[in-house]
Chains A and B, each alone.
Chain A
Amino acid sequence: MNFGLISPELALLVIALGLIVLDLIFSDKIQKALPYLTAAALLAPAALVLMLAGPSQTSFYDTFVVDGLATIFKLIFLLAAAMVCLASASYVKSRGISAGEYYTLIVSATLGMFVMASGNELITLYIGLELTSISLYLLAGLHKTDNLSTEAGMKYLVLGAVSSATLLYGLALVYGTTGTTFLPEIAARLSTVTPVLALAIVLIAAGFGFKVAAVPFHMWVPDVYQGAPTPVTAFISVASKAAGFVIVLRVFGVGLAPLSDFWPALFAALAAATMTLGNLAALNQTNIKRLMGYSSIGQAGYLLMALAAADGRTTSALVFFLVVYAFTNLGAFACIIYFSNQTGSDEISSYNGLARRAMGPAIALAFCLISLVGMPPAAGFWGKVNLFYAVFQSGLLWLVLIGLVNTAISVYYYLKIVHAMFLRTSADESPLRGEFALGLTMVAAVAGLVVLFIAPALLTGASDAAAGAIWR
């Protein structure tokens, strides 16, 4: 038994428990330091993840695997967790959210995601998924004095439970058919699609579709995104979505790989529906958190295209896209949190004239939105070009065309915000106060996007390794 392999997970567990203890002992005195402490502490699991990077290894009787796929996704989760912690500092404090619980739950959700990235067996994966989900339900409702937040937590919990049940039913059918829960074993025992397996695949896809916010399992997104504390929304939109994709890659790319003449068509339909509905619904949103919710649905649609192609090249493109998306969305949400702290509003109309009142954050938000469109000079350009190119090479021209049309649609609502910030004017022209932690988050995100734009080769090696771990 190689305990070393789960050292990053153990480190996360220690951090989570440590935070509870610290909060109990020092309570009020340490509240202010907690976000920085948590973000710094997350460097330890990051170092451990990097130390374990290399050829694929398994432990705990093959239930747990560390490979290229797990490594890159764990780094995405840590990046998201650390940046969300930094971005939460003043938000959590000013709204009276209990800091100890808040940061502990962020870390425990991250721990669950780690297990999702490394699970090699259905039950392990499911436990990771539940640990993540329950942490997120709590986080979404943690702003207890806010009705919208409570509603978001409740809605997320109820719909999440239904999706979990659906998923579990699908997994049970797979187990019933193959007699094993180990993914490589499942692959070895499957050959053709039976009606039972087809049902199982549909149920599993529905369960995961909920996690990644795919249409028609997206109903929770706008309300939860709007109601949850904004840093939690950022965390859900990045880390939870990435976790959803890694678990899909594990279950479908490894376990159900022999049936890959059946399920890619399912994902193609999901992709087309998801990006089209997400982008169309985003067009007339007036609240920026809802808009970002629909935007994240649209982005999920692009990512699902890669699953529709189902090969190594597209998986590499998916991982590349996800890393860039993580930087982009975290940066955008850092700006949204900043503006929300300063102006007290999430309405797009309150963004009028912000460029004059806070130039730096306005440029950062504009840059992230440009990256979401997929325009240069942000890394989102390579993310999208690489993904569309890979999907096209797999012969799915029609899907790429739908993606391009959607990109054109998305220009409107992303630039609507840029337009409000830079071209509109507001009655109030007083400059906004700077916030160090949020500024740091924005700089980190924008720097990441610029560096990956100039030198995408920094990432392509890791994304190829991730794809190589499942498509041999």
Chain B
Amino acid sequence: MNWTLTILIALPIAGAIVVALGPPDNKPAARILATLFSAAALAVALFAYFSYNQQAGGLQLVDRAAWFPAIGVSYHLAVDGLSLPLVVLTALLTFLAVIASWNIELRVKEYFAYLLILEAGVIGVFSASDLLLFFLFWEVELIPMYLLIGIWGGPRREYAAIKFVIYTLLGSAIMLFGILLLYFNGPTPHTFDLTALAQYRFAPATASAAFLLLLFGFAIKLPSFPFHTWLPDAHVEAPTAVSVILAGVLLKMGGYGLLRLNVGLLPEATRQFALLLAILAVVSVLYGAVVSMVQPDLKSMVAYSSISHMGYVMLGVAALNAISLNGAAIQMFTHGTITGLLFLLVGVVYDRTHTRDIPALKGLAPRMPLVATIFVIAGLASLGLPGLSGFIAEFTVLVGSFSTLRWATILSAFGIVITAGYILWMLQRVFFGPADERWRHLTDVSTREAIPLVALAAIIVLIGVYPAILTDLVETGVAPLAARIGPP
């Protein structure tokens, strides 16, 4: 036992309990406690990042204990270059989301408790090395998210929350069938251990069936066209910080599952279904971008853009080579930071104007220069401007996929053009041009609001300028996958 990852998961749970049991009617105490616990979790996550030996690679920081031997389940946590960035991302975004949520006034203790439980569940998903444990953490995320959308959401919150639950439950149930299929047709004695399963060659029929079942579960989470309809509803209704977590971290569970389970356990089946993945990817990229273009609501524009950007993850997986897989893994991290930032900015604008209607917002830049600046940075990163992190990720995906999926790559690259279109058009309408009389009284962000914005913008620039801090680590995680796939 190394304990680092166990502590990383236990900290937010402990935080949730402490916050929930804290003094009633004391909102500042709940806020400070939640901030402290999420900061502690972030510190542990960073400790994990720095104590991970990149030269050695592979699964490290292993925590392992027998759990339910009769079934072959063990408590087995570990991280590698694929999961560690996402663990850090989760801890980071949760910390920033907690800071961004200080303005929540309704049922404060509950709110932070759910947010922290959510963090524990997602970190668990990324660090589980046992398939059943993976599934278990996958389910943990469901209830807090349901409550966060359903209690603190917008006018149609109940509908959005239930839709989220139904889609997620359906996806996870079918994913569970896939997991069980692998379990019962894997090595004997039956095991859920990811490493043992990865070394096993499944019969082609089993592999194909399991691949499709798992794909279904992950495609809902990612989300990929045509399983995406829960996402805009959930995002539009969810409070700002919850949107940040949802887009920044929860969607990554789908991409991570694709890489870890579909590619990691079933590389042959992935190759067999590469065309299907490529089609889903291209449709998601283009459909998401085109629909973003016509959204009058700022938040649903960002939500649909997520569908488009997550399509690149799928494209990277479909192309199945070392470069494209690297791109997919990097895209997950960078999209988490960029979209997280965009949702925070939308939230800041909405808090002040009480509208998200793009045509109604005009000429905000002079009133809120810092928000406008950071919004432009985030927007440019989203459309893939060189020098910002979005470029690194999407460029890597496209470079990798061009050799194997030429037409899909060309079509997907067109998505970047559309993205540039809707982002720039939106920036121009919202921030520039003649100012509206209504927005004269607006003020720029407070220091507390600025912290998460500046932090995320800094990370986006940092990765854009010096990508090695991310890409070196990701490469150690992708290398074993690429080695198993072999040359095309």
Partners in one complex: yes
Partner of B147, one of A356, A423, A456: A423
Given contacts A422-B147, A422-B150, A423-B147, contact A376 B67 (CB under 8 A): no
B33-76 CB mask vs A (1 if < 8 Å, else 0) is 00000000000000000000000000000000011111100000
| A423 contacts B70, C-beta separation under 8 Å | no
| B150 contacts A386, C-beta separation under 8 Å | no
A88-99 CB mask vs B (1 if < 8 Å, else 0) is 000000000000
Residues 124 to 176 of chain B near chain A (Cβ within 8 Å): 132, 136, 139-140, 143, 147, 150-151, 158, 161, 165, 169, 173
CA distance A461 to B165 in the complex (A): 36
Partner of A386, one of B71, B139, B143, B161: B71
Given contacts A376-B136, A408-B173, A423-B161, contact A385 B71 (CB under 8 A): yes
CA distance A246 to B132 in the complex (A): 31
Is B107 at the interface (CB under 8 A from chain A)? yes
**Cβ contacts under 8 Å, B69 to chain A:** 457
Is B268 at the interface (CB under 8 A from chain A)? no
**Cβ contacts under 8 Å, B165 to chain A:** 415
| B147 contacts A381, C-beta separation under 8 Å | no
**Cβ contacts under 8 Å, B161 to chain A:** 423
Is B20 at the interface (CB under 8 A from chain A)? yes
Residues 399 to 430 of chain A near chain B (Cβ within 8 Å): 404, 408, 411, 415, 418-419, 422-423
The interface size of chain A toward B, counting residues with CB under 8 Å, comes to 25
CA distance A282 to B147 in the complex (A): 23
Given contacts A422-B147, A423-B151, A423-B161, contact A411 B140 (CB under 8 A): no
Given contacts A376-B139, A377-B140, A423-B158, contact A389 B71 (CB under 8 A): yes
Query: Which of A382, A385, A404, A423 counts the most B-chain CB atoms under 10 A from its CB?
Result: A423
CA distance A422 to B147 in the complex (A): 8
| A382 contacts B151, C-beta separation under 8 Å | no
| B20 contacts A359, C-beta separation under 8 Å | yes
Is B475 at the interface (CB under 8 A from chain A)? no
Partner of A456, one of B20, B67, B139, B173: B67
**Cβ contacts under 8 Å, A415 to chain B:** 165
Given contacts A422-B150, A423-B158, contact A386 B140 (CB under 8 A): no
CA distance A141 to B265 in the complex (A): 60
| A386 contacts B136, C-beta separation under 8 Å | no
**Cβ contacts under 8 Å, A381 to chain B:** 136
Interface size on B, as a range, is: 20 to 34
| B136 contacts A370, C-beta separation under 8 Å | no
**Cβ contacts under 8 Å, A377 to chain B:** 136, 140
Partner of B68, one of A375, A382, A418, A423: A382
Shortest B403–chain A CB gap in Å is 43
| A370 contacts B67, C-beta separation under 8 Å | no
**Cβ contacts under 8 Å, A375 to chain B:** 139
Shortest A295–chain B CB gap in Å is 19
**Cβ contacts under 8 Å, B169 to chain A:** 408, 411
Query: Which of B68, B69, B110, B158 counts the most A-chain CB atoms under 10 A from its CB?
Result: B68
Looking at chain B's contact residues, is the secondary structure mostly helix, strand, loop, or mixed? helix
Query: Which of B66, B71, B140 counts the most A-chain CB atoms under 10 A from its CB?
Result: B71
CA distance A275 to B466 in the complex (A): 59
Shortest B444–chain A CB gap in Å is 35
A357-389 CB mask vs B (1 if < 8 Å, else 0) is 001000100000010000111000110011001
B8-24 CB mask vs A (1 if < 8 Å, else 0) is 00000000000010000
A455-471 CB mask vs B (1 if < 8 Å, else 0) is 01100100000000000
CA distance A134 to B173 in the complex (A): 44
CA distance A376 to B132 in the complex (A): 11
Our count of residue pairs bridging A and B at CB distance below 8 angstroms stands at 44
CA distance A422 to B158 in the complex (A): 11
| B70 contacts A386, C-beta separation under 8 Å | yes
Query: Which of A356, A422, A457 counts the most B-chain CB atoms under 10 A from its CB?
Result: A422
For residue A411, which residue of chain B has the nearest CB? B169
CA distance A356 to B139 in the complex (A): 25
Shortest A320–chain B CB gap in Å is 9
| A386 contacts B147, C-beta separation under 8 Å | no
CA distance A422 to B139 in the complex (A): 19
**Cβ contacts under 8 Å, B110 to chain A:** 355, 359
**Cβ contacts under 8 Å, B20 to chain A:** 359, 363
| B150 contacts A423, C-beta separation under 8 Å | yes
Residues 278 to 327 of chain A near chain B (Cβ within 8 Å): 316
CA distance A422 to B162 in the complex (A): 13
**Cβ contacts under 8 Å, B158 to chain A:** 423
CA distance A389 to B132 in the complex (A): 13
Shortest A342–chain B CB gap in Å is 18
Shortest A51–chain B CB gap in Å is 28
**Cβ contacts under 8 Å, A316 to chain B:** 70
B344-358 CB mask vs A (1 if < 8 Å, else 0) is 000000000000000
CA distance A218 to B147 in the complex (A): 35
For residue A366, which residue of chain B has the nearest CB? B143
**Cβ contacts under 8 Å, A389 to chain B:** 71
For residue A431, which residue of chain B has the nearest CB? B24
| A370 contacts B143, C-beta separation under 8 Å | yes
Shortest B139–chain A CB gap in Å is 6
Partner of A422, one of B66, B136, B140, B151: B151
For residue A422, which residue of chain B has the nearest CB? B147
CA distance A29 to B47 in the complex (A): 63
Shortest A318–chain B CB gap in Å is 13
**Cβ contacts under 8 Å, B150 to chain A:** 419, 422-423
CA distance A316 to B71 in the complex (A): 13
CA distance A456 to B74 in the complex (A): 12
Shortest A179–chain B CB gap in Å is 40
Query: Which of A355, A377, A418 counts the most B-chain CB atoms under 10 A from its CB?
Result: A377
**Cβ contacts under 8 Å, A404 to chain B:** 173
CA distance A408 to B67 in the complex (A): 25
CA distance A375 to B20 in the complex (A): 22
| B70 contacts A460, C-beta separation under 8 Å | yes
Shortest A298–chain B CB gap in Å is 18
Residues 323 to 349 of chain A near chain B (Cβ within 8 Å): none
Residues 248 to 301 of chain B near chain A (Cβ within 8 Å): none
CA distance A385 to B132 in the complex (A): 10
CA distance A149 to B279 in the complex (A): 63
For residue B67, which residue of chain A has the nearest CB? A456
| A386 contacts B151, C-beta separation under 8 Å | no
**Cβ contacts under 8 Å, A418 to chain B:** 143
| B68 contacts A386, C-beta separation under 8 Å | yes
CA distance A386 to B70 in the complex (A): 8
CA distance A196 to B151 in the complex (A): 61
Given contacts A411-B169, A423-B158, contact A356 B136 (CB under 8 A): no
CA distance A404 to B68 in the complex (A): 21
CA distance A386 to B132 in the complex (A): 12
For residue A363, which residue of chain B has the nearest CB? B20
CA distance A225 to B132 in the complex (A): 36
CA distance A389 to B189 in the complex (A): 14
**Cβ contacts under 8 Å, A376 to chain B:** 136, 139-140
CA distance A316 to B68 in the complex (A): 13
Q: What are 7 of the A-B contact pairs (CB < 8 Å)?
A: A359-B20, A363-B20, A376-B139, A385-B71, A386-B68, A415-B165, A460-B70
Known interface pairs A316-B70, A382-B68, A404-B173; 14 further A-B residue pairs with C-beta atoms within 8 A, sorted by A's residue number:
A356-B107, A377-B140, A386-B68, A389-B71, A408-B173, A411-B169, A415-B165, A422-B150, A423-B151, A423-B158, A423-B161, A456-B67, A457-B66, A457-B68
- Residues of A near any B CB (own CB < 8 A): 316, 355-356, 359, 363, 370, 375-377, 381-382, 385-386, 389, 404, 408, 411, 415, 418-419, 422-423, 456-457, 460
- Residues of B near any A CB (own CB < 8 A): 20, 66-71, 107, 110, 132, 136, 139-140, 143, 147, 150-151, 158, 161, 165, 169, 173
| Nearest 8 Cβ contacts at the A-B interface | A423-B150, A376-B136, A456-B68, A389-B71, A376-B139, A422-B147, A375-B139, A423-B151
